[in-house]
Every structure is written in structure tokens, then in C-alpha cells.
Chain A
């Protein structure tokens, strides 16, 4: 009974517990409720992944209405992989959240904070699991609305402006996606993705379908924050509460990337959308700009969260670059990087959250010699930083390796060189932090700085350990990613 309904429960449990969470009496209870919910969702996602890894995709008819008339939830290899990534990050973030949220959010607002967190989580899961185009839009807006609220809860007043900016841009992006869905519905008369995939390719020569592809791409690129549409991301990540930055950087953009992959490869078909419409070249140019400019700007930042946000822009560039290659190895590289970047960035933002808790600020000049006081936090920061650079034995190395071999496969040597150079740029901005945290003299001040609480260190270090585990024991991730890529190309 429960096993059959896992696809629905995956979304329904977080969604309903969000509503209950909002009326819970105290922050501690709300936290416990959230942690349990995230743990259940994580378990469900693992069970789903196990079911589809060796078997066939699961199709679930919502409310018993058979697809294509009803809303279909469909779990295949691609989205089961993403579901595991999202719910794993949510699980670890929820444990990390306890102390961090107590410090950054007013007591009376903590249950509401967790309610928004769960809503955002449910929305992201919904986008991933649904096989209905309009449903994607609705879940996208659920997660976005919760995100606006979460960002606005940042302790600095600039968080409000960041949230408002994101609300304007996010709504424009989502409305573009809505228009795109409308155009496709107008031409095909269906909203079911699998159904669309059958009908769209024969209509690709018509203007509405071409326009639909354009609206989808622009809307999603806005949501993914691909250069030059990344402005909302840097402000939002900089000013949001630490847990939110950590959770969003690891999941929200990744889910939008997943939708982009689904639209381009499954609905329109890679040949038609990317090659016939020359979208591959556009994406590649944007990705290269993102990689170079994101890394360069990150070097000059004075605020460590803003530095990480710009680094995210660059890392998203790598993922888009992999997609733009339109090859099995390119997509595998993207999938591996979605996984590795999610873990590394979550750890980095968690470490910054620990520093914020103890130091009270995230300006880089204030962090001189901080490693002597917070050794575990700084070590985790460096560990994840190594993955960002792509040092061997970390997850980042594996994704860079796959990306570079995908590039050499097609003989794109100039692009190959850009990726190498940008890795050096990443080395510069991470090394700058290492130098400040480890080699500068610590200036004694009145407020004694101590190591972060154990409840924050534990999830951070578990994730940091995963960076190395999947850097050395690579086969689970790479095998899944290659299987996903082959599935997308129908091999």
C-alpha cells in the first residue's frame, strides 16, 4: 500500500507537514517536526531511486485519473537522481538549522521559517517528480514563493531588497514558462510531458512551438541564474539566512537545470531543440561567460557569502556547458557536477554560517587567523573548496575530469583551455580564504570566538566527508550519471 503510493507521498508529506509546522507552538518542536519530515522524504527518495535503478520508470496516476487526462507523477532515472540529491541536502540542512536558525531568526517566527522551508522543499520535489507541464509551473511558484519569504527573513535589511528583486525576476521567469506551456498546449492539446514528447517534434517547424522553446529557455535560464541573468542570485544568497543560502545554492538552481534538461531533451528532443535551433552554441557562449566572469568577480569580493554566490554562477556555467555539448559524456559530466557541486556548495555555505554564528559577520577582512579558533569549521571549508577547484580525490575533480574529456572528445580545445583557466581562478579565490583563515595573525578581541556547536559541525562534516567519499569511490555517481545520460539519448 505504502510502496505503491511512494511517488505521491514524496511530495504530499512535506507539503502537509509545512501547513502543520506553521501552527506548532515553539521553535524547537517545529525544528524536530521538520527534521523528521526531511528524514522521511530522504528515505522515500532513496526507495524510489532503488526501484527505478534496475527496473522500469514508475508512472503514478494522481487521484486515479489515468494519464494523459489526469496528472501523472513519473519517476525515472533522471529525476530519481535529482530527488535523492535534493532530499539528502534538505536532510542535512535541517539538522544544521537548529542552532543557526535560533541565532538568526526571532523566536516567534521560527515555526513559520520552518514552514516556508518545508514548502520550498515540497515545491522542489514536486517540480522534479511531476510529469505534467502545468504542474511544473504550479510547483515552481510554490517553491519560489516560499523562497522569497525565506530570503526576506535574513538578518540584514538588504535581504528585503534582495528578496523583492528575486520576486520580480522570478515571477517574470515563471510567467515566461507559463506562456511557453500555453503555446505548447495550444498546438498539441496536451499537458502530459510524455505525450508532448510524442507530438512536439513533428510541429517544430511552426512558429508557436519555436516561440514556446524560446520562452521556456529564457524563463528557465532566469531561474537557473545563467549569466547574464544571475543578478538576483548573488544578492539573494548573500543576504539570506545561512541555512537558506546553503539549501538553495545546493538545490533550487539544480532543479531548474533539471527542468531545462527535461524540456530540451525529452519534450523537444536534443536534435531539434539544441542543434536545429542552434541553442547549443548560445548556451555554450553563455556558459563560458558565466565561468570566466563568475570566477573573476568572485576573486574581488569582500563578503565571503557574495564570493561563494559568484562562484555558484561560475559552477552553474560548467553544468550548462556540459548540456551544450549535446553528447552522452557531456550530459554525464553535467549530472555528476550537479551532484558534486550541490554537496560542496552546501558545505561551504554551512561553514560560512558557522563563522557568522561565532564572529557575527561575514566580511573577509574580519576573518584573519580564524582557523586557530574554529579549526573544524575552517577545515570543512577548505575540504569543500578543494572540490570546487577540482583537486584530485575530491568530487569536483571527477566532474571536471568528465567535462574535460567530453570537451576533448569533440576537439573543443579553446573551451578546454577556458575551463582549465577558470579552475586556476577558483584556486585563487579559495587560496585567498585559506591564506586569511590560516596564515594571518588572529587579532584578540573582547568577544571570545569558539568552535561552532556540535549540531552544526556534524551535518557539515558528514557532507564534507561525502566530498571525499565520492571523489575516491566514484562509481555510484558516475555510473548513475552515465545511465541517466544514455536514457536521455534513448540508448
Chain B
């Protein structure tokens, strides 16, 4: 059970993020939960790359066991993607705040419902 504790940590973080995305009504909190959700996957990849007793992957004399550097490189890209997603998400939230005057999901939904009803009736 404890052998794969790295996976348990990833799953735990992931579920925290997922739970937040589903339950939080505040859009900023939703966005941050999404960021946690993404970060859990980064940790998953990095822990996969570990080799027990492996050295830093720089070729040097007398070392013949290295950790796998490829997942780390992949995660550099994934971090960039994650930052971009968060940036776009926050930018959209700023625009939502400008247009709706709130970032609470239930208030936004109430405003939307009003608009939809008005459209249907006229």
C-alpha cells in the first residue's frame, strides 16, 4: 500500500482539484481548483520518471544509472500549457466581471435566466 504512495498523493491532489471544480461557485476558486487538478498530473509524470538510486541525468564518469529525464521535459511543456489555460481562464473571468458585475456562478445563472426568459417572451 505504502509502496505506491506517490500515486496516492497524485490521486488525492487530483480529487481535491476535481471536487473544487465541481462544487465551488466562485469562478476564481473554480479556476484555481482546475490548476490543482492539472498540477497533480505533473507530479504523476515526474514520479513515473524516477529510477531508484538513479543519478541526475547528466553523463558523468562512474555513474551508469540515471533517472529518466524525458517525463521532466514533457512536463515543462505541460506546465506552459497549464499556465496558458489559467491565464486565458482568468482573462475570461475579468471579462465576465465587467459584463455581469459578479463572479458568483449562481448570480450569473440568475442573470442568464432573466435574459433567456425575456428572449422567449418577446
Contact = CB atoms under 8 A, between A and B. Distances in A.
Interface of A: 134, 137-138, 141, 145, 148-149, 152, 157-158, 160-161, 163-164, 167-168, 171-172, 175, 178-179, 182, 185-186, 302-303, 363
A152 to B, nearest CB: 6
Given A134-B74, A145-B85, 14 more contacts: A141-B84, A145-B88, A148-B89, A148-B92, A149-B88, A161-B96, A161-B112, A164-B27, A167-B88, A167-B92, A168-B30, A171-B85, A171-B89, A303-B119
Contacts of A185: 48, 71
Given A168-B34, A363-B119, A160 B92 contact: yes
Contacts of B88: 145, 148-149, 167
A249 to B, nearest CB: 21
Contacts, number: 72
By size class, the interface of chain B is: 20 to 34
Interface of B: 18, 21, 27, 30, 34, 37-38, 41, 44-45, 48, 71, 74, 77-78, 81, 84-85, 88-89, 92-93, 95-96, 99-100, 108, 112, 115, 119-120
Contacts of A145: 84-85, 88
Nearest to B89: A167
B108 A161 contact: yes
A182 B71 CA distance: 9
B41 A160 contact: no
B26 to A, nearest CB: 12
B76 to A, nearest CB: 11
A149 B89 CA distance: 10
B92 A158 contact: no
Which applies to chain A's interface (DSSP): helix, strand, loop or mixed? Answer: helix
Contacts of B77: 134, 138
Given A158-B112, A175-B38, A182 B92 contact: no
A148 B88 CA distance: 8
B38 A164 contact: no
A341 B89 CA distance: 31
Nearest to B42: A178
A172 B34 CA distance: 8
A164 B109 CA distance: 13
Contact of B85 (A141, A152, A160, A182): A141
B92 A164 contact: yes
A185 B38 CA distance: 18
22 contacts: A138-B77, A145-B84, A145-B85, A145-B88, A148-B88, A148-B89, A152-B95, A157-B100, A160-B100, A164-B27, A164-B92, A167-B92, A171-B38, A172-B18, A172-B34, A172-B37, A178-B78, A182-B48, A182-B71, A185-B48, A185-B71, A363-B119
Contacts of A363: 119
